[in-house]
Amino acid sequence: MDQKRFLITGGSQGIGAALVALARKAGHAVVFTGRHDDTIGQVAGETGAFGLQADSSIGDDNEKTVETCQEQMGGIDVLVNNAASWYSAAIGELDLDAMRRLFDTNVFGMVDLTNRVVPFMKAKTKVPEGGDIVNIASTSGTKGGKLGTAYAASKWAVRGISQCWQAELRPHSIRVISICPSEVQTRWGGRVGRNNPNKLYAIDIAETIMAALNMHPRALWPELSVFATNPWKED
């Protein structure tokens, strides 16, 4: 893959931070967003990427993010919609306002940001490929589970939206790739104690994303799930 200009949302921790590091190591320009100045500063300092405090559920922040990419990199070749939030509750106890806030980040924020980026990708004329959009879904979006009404529904939506965008954007040589990780060892969602070394790590998903992007532009990997081989094993 030639040098590209990456925008990675939720890039200050977990999968996003691992991807920022890999993309920078491969020589790509990277702008990433996050919500907390301390983690943004740490990732920016370690990788040389440009970090921006922004919340993808807020339209003005998304506008600022795209403007920053234009100023810092001159455009966007690869958009990775990684930012997400978590909410779980049993049916009969669901807080619909909490579910709406989750959809604001996981679904509507992703759509709003991509809505702003795609016109620039379509307008590109100097390269044969129009660009790449990577949407981070989840294996929770492939099957239902206890307490998963809100989160699983949002990730089912990400998968369906990805398929719609594939149908729309392939004629413009824009690839849309949906990644469905299984459980990954991060502090995401405030959950800790998931330190079984046989479960997935953020780097495993980041490497998967880079592998999909490194395919020749004529080839599209529309969706792929990533599971740990033996997550039940205890060393």
Residue the block writes with tokens 């949302």: 9
CB-count burial class (<10 Å; 0-12, 13-18, 19+) for 227 = middle
> Rounded CA gap, 92 and 82, in Å?
30
* DSSP3 helix / strand / coil % (the chain, rounded to 5): 45, 15, 40
* 165 contact partners, CB below 8 Å, separation of at least 6: 114, 133, 176
Residue with tokens 């579910």: 99
Cα–Cα dist 133/162, whole Å: 9
What is the full DSSP assignment across 21-59? HHHHHTT-EEEEEES-HHHHHHHHHHH-PEEEE--TTSH
Active site residue 151: yes
Q: Which of 151, 157, 180, 181 is catalytic?
A: 151
Please say whether the beta carbons of 47 and 22 come within 8 A. Answer: no
CA-based nearest residue to 161, from 107, 109, 212: 107
Residues classed as catalytic: 151
